[in-house]
Chains A and B, each alone.
With several copies, the nearest count.
Chain A
Amino acid sequence: MLIKPLVEALLFVAEEPLSLDRLAEITEFPVQDVRLALRELQQEYAADDSGLQVMEIAKGYQLATKPELAPVVEKLFKGENRYTLSQAALETLAIIAYRQPVTRVDIENIRGVKVDGVLETLLKRRFIRTAGRKDAPGRPILYSTTREFLKYFGLKDVSELPRSDMDLPRERSLFEEPGQTITT
């Protein structure tokens, strides 16, 4: 078997970048030959009439599409709306993610600013949802993050996440005003 087609096929199917050593190991070709094949592939794909490129990334090589084609290629994935969240929204989300369920007042105590508007946006964007009411004076609404939130950050499988480990015991909150108790 020729080395270049092998390297091409391997870069194509690999789930992650492949290092020179790994490529040499799998193909059973000397590292120099692999390096040469990679260089050839890199040059070939660099041509304008190719839509792909050989990327060097994290000490490995990987096939990927050319950046200038992104506007069209992305259309394949249309519907996956990806816009950037505002700074305020991010910080609010961070607090909700690790403190959920959490009240608006709790969030405002941490961020030091009003968050009504941000919460509304996040609710509309379905990054957060209401999660009942807190057993405290005024019975304030509690907020939690959603699946949509996980998707946005590419956190694919909720169940895989070490949720419980990350949740700090709520009574040890550092962000509450002294004397304010949290009973959820």
Chain B
Amino acid sequence: MDYLVKQPAFEGPFALLFHLIEKAEVDIYEISVAEITAQYLEYLQAMQELNLEVASEFLVMAATLLKLKSKKLLPGTFETVDELEDAMITIDSQEELVQRLLEYRHFRSVAEELRRFEQAQKRVFARSLSGEKVVIVNPEKEMSAAGITLPGLMQAFAHLLADFERQPREVNVDEFTVKDKMKLIMTSLRGQSSGIDFFSLFPKGAGLSEIIITFFSLLELIRLRKISVWQTGPMESLLIMRKV
């Protein structure tokens, strides 16, 4: 299976020209249009032979170079309507070509400088607050919960409800309040320094209202930073811990 190598060796015609000039070790101001044109065309031909896709910009530049070369040979005869006028590269004299190359060289060196900045900055790490980190420690009210992965918590809750679906139903009088549940959870956490399992808070046979109230009590306790929820891995069980 043959394939086109999409990635050309050079970002654009200026990059290629620049490379050729550097290779020839000539000063940009002293380039010979005839020579550089010959080399440029040679390179394009090599690219085509290698089945590399030659972008139209490269061809436009080739045409431009040929035009400049002809102008030098037959001065004054090429001031006619230019079919390349709408193209991105409109260069009418060697002087202009030199200016364009100098300008391109400048931005190339700035790009190199940016690359150095980029590399330096890659070695420096700032905090990203994407995760659920402890940001501010305030016993009264907290910004965000520590260690908890809420999607994980919600998933666990979804499992609970799924289990509930499978269990025989039992109509339960709504006798639980969030307040009571919160107290109950805090009590059961007392003395459990390593925390308790999320699921142990939901007794077997608990009614739906109890499950929901318990879950909401957990959310509220997390929000108030009375407890924290930990998960050691994506599929691991959730640990509920009292905050100190």
Contacts and interface: CB of A to CB of B under 8 A. Distances in A.
Contacts of B219: 153
B241 A58 contact: yes
Contacts of A23: none
A91 B111 contact: yes
B121 A152 contact: yes
Which of the four size classes fits the interface of chain B? Answer: 35 or more
B155 A162 contact: yes
Interface residues on A, range: 35 or more
A152 B118 contact: yes
A26 interface: no
Interface in A140-168: 152-157, 160-162, 164-168
A114 B109 contact: no
Contacts of A164: 106, 109-110
Interface in B163-190: 165, 169, 171-172, 174, 177-179
A72 to B, nearest CB: 10
B205 interface: no
B102 to A, nearest CB: 6
A67 B106 CA distance: 28
Contact of A175 (B144, B154, B209): B209
B228 A74 contact: no
11 contacts: A55-B137, A64-B125, A64-B137, A112-B12, A113-B11, A153-B121, A154-B223, A155-B150, A155-B154, A161-B151, A162-B154
Return the 6 tightest CB-CB contacts between A and B, nearest first: A70-B138, A15-B131, A166-B106, A113-B12, A94-B110, A70-B123
Interface of A: 9, 12-13, 15-17, 53, 55, 57-59, 62-70, 73-74, 77, 80, 82, 84-85, 87-88, 90-91, 93-95, 97-98, 108-114, 152-157, 160-162, 164-168, 172, 174-175, 177
Interface of B: 11-15, 55, 57, 61, 88-90, 96, 99-100, 102-115, 117-141, 143-148, 150-151, 154-155, 157-158, 161-162, 165, 169, 171-172, 174, 177-179, 194-195, 207-209, 212-213, 215-216, 219-220, 222-224, 228, 230, 239, 241
